[in-house]
Amino acid sequence: MRLFIAINFKETAKDKILKISDEVKRFSEKGKFVNRDHIHLTLEFLGEVDESKLELIRNAMDMIKEAPFIMELSKIGFFKRRDGDIYWLGIKENKSLINLQSELHKYLLEQGFTLEDRPYKPHLTIGRRVVMSDNFNIESYSNQIENIRIEVNKIDLMKSENIKGKLIYTNMYTKILN
């Protein structure tokens, strides 16, 4: 099964993020924008994992000692791609978030998982294969993003599967931060 560990958001935060995504979408000529049900912040992508290893993932998650915290969105950005860019919302520098992800990464490695070995750059993907119209000014629009504060008090192990052509995320386990 295809798994990742993420911070999922309350509906009020999703509403604000979707509003920003819809504004960016208005300026796009093409692209696939994130569905409301798929809005999350990935902490670790695990990829294909055998069901027998679920207990190891839960063990790693349960070792985390980070307390609940607040994170804030910062700006709109994009990763340049040949077939259209990936648009994202940035996260303001947050020591608690970095500590949480670092602890999780360490504990998953200790449980024997193979993970990406590049620095963690937290962002919320809002669109893929996006081509923007010429009249979209990312800098001026980034400055207009309202101050969105998101309470983080849990992390979730998520299963991603394609069912009848539709991407479905299922929560497999939750670790409450305390």
Write the CB contacts of 125 (distance below 8 Å, at least 6 apart in sequence). Answer: 34, 86, 87, 88
pLDDT band for 146, please (50, 70, 90 cuts): low
55 confidence band (pLDDT: 50, 70, 90): very high
What is the side-by-side order of every strand in the sheet holding 149-152?
A: 28-33, 123-132, 85-91, 69-79, 149-152
CB 40 within 8 A of CB 9: yes
What are the pLDDT digits (tens) for 5-50?
999 999 999 999 998 899 889 999 999 999 999 999 999 999 999 9
- The pLDDT of residue 23 is 86
Tens digit of pLDDT for each residue in 77-99?
999 999 899 999 999 999 999 99
Q: Judge whether 38 counts as a catalytic residue.
A: no
**Overall average pLDDT of the 141-164 stretch:** 88
DSSP 51: G
Any idea what the CATH number is for the domain that residue 92 is in? 3.90.1140.10
Distance between CA atoms of residues 89 and 148, nearest Å: 11
Other C-beta atoms closer than 10 Å to the C-beta of 79 total 12
Average pLDDT over residues 125-143: 86
Given the residues 25, 40, 105, 175, the one annotated as active site: 40
> Can 123 be counted among the known catalytic residues?
yes
If one counts the domains in the chain, the total is 1
Selecting among 25, 105, 123, 175, the annotated active-site residue is: 123
- Domain with 123, as residue range(s), is 2-176
0.85 exceeded by pTM: yes
